[in-house]
Amino acid sequence: EAGVAQSPRYKIIEKRQSVAFWCNPISGHATLYWYQQILGQGPKLLIQFQNNGVVDDSQLPKDRFSAERLKGVDSTLKIQPAKLEDSAVYLCASSPRDRGISGANVLTFGAGSRLTVL
Amino acid sequence: DQQVKQNSPSLSVQEGRISILNCDYTNSMFDYFLWYKKYPAEGPTFLISISSIKDKNEDGRFTVFLNKSAKHLSLHIVPSQPGDSAVYFCAANQAGTALIFGKGTTLSVSS
C-alpha cells in the first residue's frame, strides 16, 4: 500500500511569512495527525482529525496555526505568520483505528516537511 | 509535564551485543506502549508495541519489557546490527488517543 505522502519536503521562509503543508494519508485511514518535531525533541501532537472532524487540537497554537481536512482525506496545515521557533519538522501520520476502539494505535508517518524560519 | 521520558540521549553498542533502551512514564492510565525507529530525513517507523496487561512482547531480535509497578519499559535488541543505528522513540497512549512521545535515544552500533 502507498504510504503517507507529504509536501513540500523542505521550506525556508522569513519570519512573519506564511507557509502551508499538505498531507495525503493512507487510503482508508480514518484518523489523521499532525505532529511538530523540534530538533532534539520527540514529536509533539498539534492536531488529530477523525474523518473530517477535529478530535484534539488542544496543543495547536491557534493564533497562528490552522489545519483542515477536507472530505476526510487530504489535510493542510498552515502557519501564518511564522516565528523563528516554528522551525521544525512537521510530520503527518494516519491510523486506521477509530477513537475508542481497543488495540495499539499504530500510526504510520510520512517523511515530514522540514521548515526553516529565518 | 513530560509524561514519557527517555533519560539517555545516546547509547553506543558493539555489533552482536545487546542494546537496551529505557523509557519511563508517569501516567498510569496508558493502555499501550510503542517503540518507533527513525532514520535521518525519514519519518518514524513502528517497531514493536506492548499492551499494559502484558509484561513482555517479542518480535524477532526485538523484545519489549514492561514493569507497571515501576512505570518503566525497555527495548532489547539482540544481537545488535549496524543497520539498527537510528533514533528510537518510546511512545504511549490511552486507547484511541494520539501517541505521546519521549525525546528519543540515539543508538549507534559499531562493527
Q: What is the pLDDT of residues B50-69, one digit of tens each?
A: 999 999 999 999 999 999 99
CA A98 to chain centre: 18
CA A77 to chain centre: 6
Q: Measured between beta carbons, which residues in chain B are less than 8 angstroms from residue A97?
A: 96
Q: Measured between beta carbons, which residues in chain B are less than 8 angstroms from residue A93?
A: 43
pLDDT at residue A101 in the model: 45
State which residue of chain A sits closest to B31, comparing Cα positions: A104
Euclidean distance between CA atoms A85 and B25, whole angstroms? 27
For B11, the grid coordinates are: 547509547
Q: Do B101 and A44 touch (CB under 8 A)?
A: yes
Location of C-alpha cell 521548515: A115
Element (H, E) at A56: strand A53-56
Give A44-94 pLDDT, tens digit per residue.
Answer: 999 999 988 999 999 999 999 999 998 889 999 999 999 999 999 999 999
Contact call for residues B59 and B48 (beta carbons, < 8 A): yes
Q: Do A45 and B98 touch (CB under 8 A)?
A: yes
The shortest C-alpha distance from B3 to chain A (Å) reads 12
Q: Is A42 on the interface with B (CB under 8 A)?
A: yes
Euclidean distance between CA atoms B60 and B54, whole angstroms? 18
Euclidean distance between CA atoms B91 and A56, whole angstroms? 17
Q: Give percent above pLDDT 70 in chain A.
A: 93
Give B2-59 pLDDT, tens digit per residue.
Answer: 899 999 999 999 999 999 999 999 999 999 999 999 999 999 999 999 999 999 999 9
Dihedral in degrees, nearest 10, Cα atoms A28, A96, B34, B90: 60
Euclidean distance between CA atoms A47 and B65, whole angstroms? 30
Whether the per-residue pLDDT at A100 is higher than 80: the answer is: no
Residue by residue, what is the 3-state secondary structure of chain B? Answer: CCCEECCCCEEEEECCCCEEEEEEECCCCCCEEEEEEECCCCCCEEEEEEECCCCEEEECCEEEEEECCCCEEEEEECCCCHHHCEEEEEEEECCCCCCEECCCEEEEEEC
